[in-house]
Amino acid sequence: MENHEPGTENNTSDENLDHLAKDIESTLKFVKSSKRPAVQHCIIRSVNPLLRRVNEAAYRPLFVIIGPLRCYTSLLEPMELQKRIYLASFLQRPGVGASLNEFCKLITASAPEIRSRYEETYYRRCDFKAHQIQQNIPPSDDNLQWFIEMVLADAAFIIELFLRIYHKEGQPESEIDFVFDSPGKIYDIRRDLFLAHNQLPLFVLKQIYDLAFGNNPDHHPSFIHLSCNFFYQYFNQNISIHDLFQPNQPHVDFIAKLEGAKHFTDLLRTLQLQHSFQNPGSNSKSFSCKPMFKCSSC
């Protein structure tokens, strides 16, 4: 039978409690100092699991993953390659008034604000040589470059796609385009881009677009105009997108609501709002249209 000196067990117990208390204090300091998004800034959240369970397919992107909200162990490689092809095309567009370095600087400066818009964030890493595309990397200052590349690739893909649709540009002969390689895929991609958890904040898309074309605004539509043109099928009003954005038209209040959208899901809600438009040909008549469509992710 072992003999213990009086008080030895109590001393050991006290030491363990001291270590435990220090560990708890360290954890509390870490939690207190962690960069969690403020509730009022967080606008892009995961869909409630109970709601998603009712119809998983309604909330699952088919082709294109946008933004850092969700964790994915693997992503569709052809789509991520297509984003880089569109990024290269965007950078080479006539009239683009910024370099790749300037776009990276813009995203770097906006990174804290971008991240604050998400409930949680995961960085995406693309190793095309090893055919490994993952979005499961916790954010840190050491791997910020992956976040910058992810945001730039996603944003450039969206802007370039919207420009091609707006200008009715065909697919370049030298380019293999994953988006248009089969009939109907563009409709699935359009649907992916308005899913509530598959978003970039509109402010960063506008910043990148304005950096590219802000020096020559008369020759380029606004980004909101581009976006509404892309989602025109969900614009259930008795006026066309083209007429809505004509200069000197009396629709400034409705356009202001569109400009205030936080992301594409929010933009589609606004496009569906009942609104009375003044008939341009009359000082007294007005016309309105009630929403006829409600997207499943709204």
Sequential pLDDT tens for the chain (298 residues): 555 555 555 666 778 888 888 889 888 877 776 555 555 678 999 888 888 888 888 888 999 999 999 888 888 899 999 999 999 999 999 999 999 999 999 999 999 999 999 999 999 999 999 999 999 999 888 899 999 999 999 999 999 999 999 998 766 666 778 888 888 899 999 999 999 999 999 999 999 999 999 888 778 999 999 999 999 988 877 888 988 898 877 788 889 999 999 999 999 999 988 777 665 554 444 444 444 444 444 4
- Angle (CA) 228 231 232, round 5°: 75
Cα–Cα separations (whole angstroms), residue 231 to 165, 189, 265: 10, 11, 11
| pLDDT value at residue 30 | 72
52's enclosing H/E stretch is helix 49-54
pTM, two decimal places: 0.81
Rounded CA gap, 35 and 217, in Å?
A: 37
Q: How high is the pLDDT of residue 279?
A: 57
65 vs 165: CA distance, rounded Å: 20
